[in-house]
Amino acid sequence: MTSGNAPQEGSARATGIDGVLLLDKPSGITSNIALQRIRRLYGRAKAGHTGTLDPLATGLLPICLGEATKFSHPILTFDKTYAASMRLGLRSSTGDAEGVISKTADPSFSDDELTAAIAALTGEIEQLPPMYSAVKVNGERLYKLARKGVVAERKSRRVHIRHLEVTHRSDSDLSISVTCSKGTYIRTLAEDLGDRLGCGAYLTALRRTAIGSLRLSDALGLDELEDLPVADRIARLKPVDLLLNVLPRLSLGDADAKRLCNGLVLTDVAGSPAAEIRVYSADGRFLGLGEVDEDLSLRPKRLLSQAF
């Protein structure tokens, strides 16, 4: 969903660039660096990413531009799917290939032991956040404490591993496919799997392949984007409401749509109390989000700047 004039790369400010970009983040850069490169490609448009990937990790990173930044919150609840590889018989101080590596035990587990370990880590499990993570303890990020050599006391978290399977196995390496709830650390999952197999493990590669119904196959790489003309980059943006498809939809006639967009409350609206609803005009234009009150009235919650 775009409007206005197309910005040129490097322009001071972009206007009218609204939509969601599905980026295939490359390895070796942070999610924030990827975001800044996207902002440059779209003329310094207002932007924000959803769901940080570590520098080592690659794959699907949705980036919201312009008005889409108002509507990114539902994605925080989406399940995520990853393809991960791990090295067996070794440990890492960070849980991945960027840490100090130490030898543990030679992998010598059977197929039955591997099957049992996978089963034990499927479903609802407890995870201890890794020290090299952005979780705060007493107001300080764990990774900052870890860099000082401090090991902080952490509380375990309950996460849901909805699907876990082995996709490749060799004498020293294991590859898995994981679909999991928000808040799951794949580095920790790799370490826990290595512990259950009695040999230790650390993560060597991680690629996010899906977030909810969003798929990596629909994403674009940075190099591909940089090779496109500006107009083609804009054309590859997804609609502003892409991340809201989990919410109920309501279409309004012109009169009610104008009232809502002017900040007025609509009465006798069908829906569930306290529920967010994505609101559209009669001709299918996305207007924004409303919220249903206890008395089934609909009040505006977050609307497009020029919704109607």
- Give the separation between CA 46 and CA 305, rounded to whole angstroms: 14
Backbone φ, ψ for residue 279 (5° rounding): -115, 135
The pLDDT assigned to 138 comes to: 72
- Give the separation between CA 256 and CA 277, rounded to whole angstroms: 15
pLDDT in tens, the chain (308 residues): 333 333 344 333 445 799 999 999 999 999 999 999 999 999 988 999 888 898 999 999 999 999 999 999 999 899 999 999 999 999 999 899 989 999 999 999 999 999 999 999 999 999 988 767 677 777 778 777 767 777 777 888 999 999 999 999 999 999 999 999 999 999 999 999 999 999 999 999 999 999 999 999 999 999 999 999 999 999 999 999 999 998 999 999 999 999 999 999 998 776 666 688 999 999 999 999 999 888 888 999 999 987 66
- Give the separation between CA 48 and CA 25, rounded to whole angstroms: 14
- 102 located within any domain: yes
Instruction: Tell me, yes or no, whether 252 and 164 share the same domain.
Output: no
- Give the separation between CA 84 and CA 233, rounded to whole angstroms: 30
Instruction: Tell me, yes or no, whether 238 and 262 share the same domain.
Output: no
Sign of CA dihedral 212, 216, 217, 220: positive
The pLDDT assigned to 122 comes to: 98
Domain extent at residue 38? 19-77+215-242
- 254 located within any domain: yes
Instruction: Tell me, yes or no, whether 262 and 172 share the same domain.
Output: no
Domain count for the chain: 3
CATH number at residue 45: 3.30.2350.10
The pLDDT assigned to 45 comes to: 81
Backbone φ, ψ for residue 65 (5° rounding): -120, 140
The pLDDT assigned to 162 comes to: 98
- 10 located within any domain: no
Question: Of the listed 18, 24, 54, 241, which one is catalytic?
Answer: 54
The pLDDT assigned to 148 comes to: 72
- 186 located within any domain: yes
Instruction: Tell me, yes or no, whether 294 and 258 share the same domain.
Output: yes
- Give the separation between CA 116 and CA 114, rounded to whole angstroms: 5
Give the start-end residues of each E strand in 26-99. Answer: 47-49, 58-65, 80-88, 90-92
Instruction: Tell me, yes or no, whether 201 and 137 share the same domain.
Output: yes
- 139 located within any domain: yes
Instruction: Tell me, yes or no, whether 102 and 59 share the same domain.
Output: no
- 9 located within any domain: no
- 95 located within any domain: yes
- Give the separation between CA 193 and CA 203, rounded to whole angstroms: 11
CATH number at residue 282: 2.30.130.10
The pLDDT assigned to 303 comes to: 94
Instruction: Tell me, yes or no, whether 111 and 175 share the same domain.
Output: yes
111 has catalytic annotation: no
